Chain A
Amino acid sequence: MAVTTTYAASALPAPDGRPDKRMTEDDVVARLSDGMTIGIGGWGSRRKPMSLVRAIARSELTDLTIVCYGGPEVGILSALGKLRRAVYGFVSLDSIPLEPHFRQARQQGTIEVTELDEGAFYLGLLAAAHRVPFYPTRAGLGSDMMLMNPDLATVTSPYPDADGVHEELVAIPAFQLDASLIHMNRADAAGNGQFLGPDLYFDDLFAKAAAATYLSCEKVVPTGDLLAEGSLHTLKIPRLFVDGVVQAPRGAHFTECPPDYGRDEAFQRAYAATAKDPDAWRTFVERWLEAPSHEAYLDRLAAERGDDRG
């Protein structure tokens, strides 16, 4: 006899005793320290935890390594001198193919980099999430990825192929992440995260790969409401892998966070233009990156637009 189970929003109260992990951006930063390696979720200029990135930007933190499918967090933190190293599959603003502050950092030699094939980067996350030392891949063999990363080693397959040959593969090492920062559409106070857009990217792996994961979200909702806006398949971040929850409406601004909002292309263009104009960059830092809180940032954004917040 087949059983058909449907999962839906529920008015059942959450049992007592579950953790309440709500905190502020500054609480998250207080748990980070100089020299840490931090994973940052999202993809290019898409669903980046920007309120947390700005909290790092206005903090005293320094000498950081960030690990990401890179977007503006790489440009902003490198231009502020917060980065020792960036580990990435690419650094792009999507509608602007190369992140302009990252371009400057590379051409001026101000940061160290670990540049990997985009797919190989995925395997570094996966290995960390699975607590194995590496995953093997063919990606990188024959290209200058090996030259650019002299620490990358190869491994010989213990199994012969059809011709009896033991194939040599690249061993992508597990990323050792002290913390990960991700941005979700919804979450509950216990840390269950939900994405409502078309792509989770690799945020579940960032959460599983890190020693601690801090999740910002557009809105904290009661657990019973998590299925009100998305199907079961959108609940990809179980609280097992989350240590802090920050409610940050428009927290991914100026990157996109569908279906809640698209990318603020005008803002992104203005940000990109600051890479060639030191005065404009100083103004950008003062106005946007040194806003004392996410609330203050949203107020400034609303004032700039002369409209209501949101």
Chain B
Amino acid sequence: MADQTGPATRDEICAVAIAEAFRGDGEVLCNPIGTTPIIGGRLARATFEPAMVMTDAISVLAANPLTVGDDDAERLVEAWMPYRDVFDVVWSGRRHVVMGASQIDAHGNQNLAAIGDWRRPKAQLLGLRGAPGNLVNHATTYWVPNHSTRSFVPSVDVVSGPGYDRVAPLSAAIRDGHEIRRVVSNLAVLDFEAPDGGADDGPRRMRLRSVHPGVTVDEVVEATGFELVVPDEVPESRLPTDEELHLIREVLDPHGYRKAEFGG
């Protein structure tokens, strides 16, 4: 059993940062992939985004908050959602996914597929998976638990999920659907919102939105393999509320599975 008392720890701050990515989404399929993203999504729904729907990671939409790692938890089933229907939801645009990124660049191009030449990769990764379709249809947030110059790179080896430069020449429907809402790492929260609220010159670039408490701007800049947009004032990522800490520690992840991504 993980330590579940005391002040908020980095994993909990990251879960809250992911939850914040869903703020304002309303009635969409909140579809986080991975332990910390799932906790973040479920936290958002249990607090400020109650209209969102979520799968049980198997085949139904479950209305109740589910505990991570408890495969036998009772579900309040709202709808059947087999995989085929998930694709229909993707193409409807009413979805916000959280995926990982083995590599990501300044315009948000993501690589989940392979390191090296895809024809015969040095390291085969998960593959394109659903990233090509996700990015051109609906909002995406990335979760990168190991912020470093190996993951935040000048150029990704394979583009699974296209970034802003790649979609700029594509159709209006694609540009309307494409949104990289946030990139949440173990060090910081990043986005593609220029200070004036829009890209003034060329495709949008990654901006430092906040640093997690205890992390400096310089640390983030040094751990990033491309030039970030860094505003004059960079706030700290917000701390969990007491209610959020209670939900994370007692309801959503009482066994502390989220600690595994943080060397815990």
A-side contacts of B137, CB under 8 Å: 138-139
Once the chains bind, are A142 and B158 in contact (CB under 8 Å)?
no
Q: Mark B144-166, 1 if CB is under 8 A from A, else 0.
A: 00000000000000111110001
Closest to B127 in A: A90
Once the chains bind, are B159 and A103 in contact (CB under 8 Å)?
no
A201 to B177: give the CA distance in the assembly, Å.
Answer: 26
Once the chains bind, are A122 and B172 in contact (CB under 8 Å)?
no
A-side contacts of B48, CB under 8 Å: none
A-side contacts of B130, CB under 8 Å: 117-119
- From B59, B126, B127, B160, A199 is in contact (CB under 8 Å) with B59
Once the chains bind, are B82 and A199 in contact (CB under 8 Å)?
yes
Does B129 count as interface, using CB distance less than 8 angstroms? yes
For this complex, into which size category does the number of interface residues on chain A fall? 35 or more
Known contacts A117-B128, A118-B87, A167-B171; decide if A141 and B121 are in contact (CB<8 Å): no
A195 CB, min distance to chain B CBs, angstroms: 10
A-side contacts of B60, CB under 8 Å: 198
Once the chains bind, are B133 and A119 in contact (CB under 8 Å)?
yes
Once the chains bind, are B133 and A117 in contact (CB under 8 Å)?
yes
Once the chains bind, are B87 and A138 in contact (CB under 8 Å)?
no
Q: Which of A92, A142, A163, A201 has the most B CB atoms < 10 Å from its CB?
A: A142
A117 to B128: give the CA distance in the assembly, Å.
Answer: 6
Q: Which of A194-225 contact B (CB under 8 A)?
A: 198-202
Does A91 count as interface, using CB distance less than 8 angstroms? yes
Does A107 count as interface, using CB distance less than 8 angstroms? yes
A161 to B135: give the CA distance in the assembly, Å.
Answer: 20
Once the chains bind, are B118 and A144 in contact (CB under 8 Å)?
yes
Does A145 count as interface, using CB distance less than 8 angstroms? yes
Once the chains bind, are A98 and B126 in contact (CB under 8 Å)?
yes
Closest to B119 in A: A109
- From A89, A98, A141, A144, B170 is in contact (CB under 8 Å) with A141
A142 to B114: give the CA distance in the assembly, Å.
Answer: 17
A143 to B136: give the CA distance in the assembly, Å.
Answer: 9
Closest to A163 in B: B172
A143 to B60: give the CA distance in the assembly, Å.
Answer: 30
A-side contacts of B123, CB under 8 Å: 107
Does B132 count as interface, using CB distance less than 8 angstroms? yes
12 contacts across the A-B interface (CB closer than 8 A): A43-B83, A91-B127, A98-B124, A107-B120, A107-B124, A118-B133, A120-B132, A137-B91, A141-B136, A142-B170, A144-B159, A147-B118
Contact surface of B with A, Cβ cutoff 8 Å:
58-60, 80, 82-84, 87, 90-91, 113-114, 118-133, 135-137, 158-162, 166-167, 170-174, 177
Contact surface of A with B, Cβ cutoff 8 Å:
43, 88-92, 97-98, 102-103, 106-109, 115-120, 122, 137-145, 147-148, 161, 163, 165, 167-168, 198-202
11 extra interface residue pairs, beta carbon distance < 8 Å, beyond A141-B167, A147-B118: A89-B129, A90-B129, A92-B126, A103-B124, A115-B128, A119-B87, A119-B91, A139-B133, A140-B132, A142-B162, A161-B173
